[in-house]
């Protein structure tokens, strides 16, 4: 009986230390490759949320203009919120997503700027007499289009935009 027990113990083998180290090394290499990809998804989600909010604000601005004989003169963050209560207009109501940073308009043009929560990017929609341009940049290093004097005509191209790629902003456009 003791011979069988001894033979059984000798026959049972596990993983060697080298085999375990190889598996840990492979898992580590996969983690180094995958983790940066997953981390960039968060900033992409914030940028997508900001773009969606800017587009919703644009639609709301168009609704306001419809009620005011086609003019955007009274456009502000509070007027957007009055027409569409689901829009976030401050960091406290944004739930770590995006909020309307500024909004203004004149007789025939408007600018709506949205800021993301954690990536601090600004996304603006400029509608100058029906010609829509989307510009963006990092908060603090880029100034969005003039809040109180949106352009008239095709002056949108003269805005200074940021350069490089950051989140959802590629060379100042989105």
For 155, which DSSP code?
G
pLDDT value, residue 154: 39
pLDDT value, residue 18: 93
**What is the DSSP annotation of the chain?**
-HHHHHHHHHH-----HHHHHHHHHHHHHHHHHHHHHHHHHHHHHHHHHHHHHHHHHHHHHHHHHHHTTT--TT--HHHHHHH-TTS--STTTTTSSEEEEEEEE-SSEEEEEEEESSS-EEEEEEEETTEEEEEEEEBTTBPPSPSS----TTGGGGS----SEETTEETTB-
pLDDT value, residue 151: 44
Claim: this prediction has a pTM higher than 0.75: no
Tell me what percent of the residues of the chain surpass a pLDDT of 90. Answer: 28
Residues of the chain with pLDDT under 50: 147-148, 150-160
pLDDT value, residue 24: 97
Q: What is the pLDDT of residues 120-159, one digit of tens each?
A: 788 999 888 888 888 888 877 767 776 445 444 433 444 4
């Amino acid at each position: 009986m003791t011979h069988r027990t001894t033979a059984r113990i000798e026959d049972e083998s596990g993983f060697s230390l080298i085999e375990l180290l190889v598996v840990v090394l492979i898992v580590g290499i996969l983690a180094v490759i995958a983790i940066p990809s997953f981390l960039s998804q968060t900033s992409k989600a914030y940028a997508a949320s900001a773009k969606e909010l800017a587009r919703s604000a644009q639609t709301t601005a168009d609704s306001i203009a419809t009620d005011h004989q086609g003019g955007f003169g009274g456009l502000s963050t509070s007027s957007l919120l009055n027409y569409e209560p689901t829009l976030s207009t401050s960091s406290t109501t944004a739930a770590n997503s995006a909020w309307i940073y500024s909004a203004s308009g004149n007789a025939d043009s408007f600018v709506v700027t949205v800021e993301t929560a954690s990536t601090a990017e600004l996304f603006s929609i400029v509608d100058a007499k029906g010609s829509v341009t989307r510009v963006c940049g990092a908060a603090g290093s880029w100034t969005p289009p003039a809040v109180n004097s949106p352009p008239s005509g095709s002056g949108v191209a003269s805005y200074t935009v940021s350069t490089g790629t950051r989140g959802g902003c590629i060379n100042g456009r989105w």
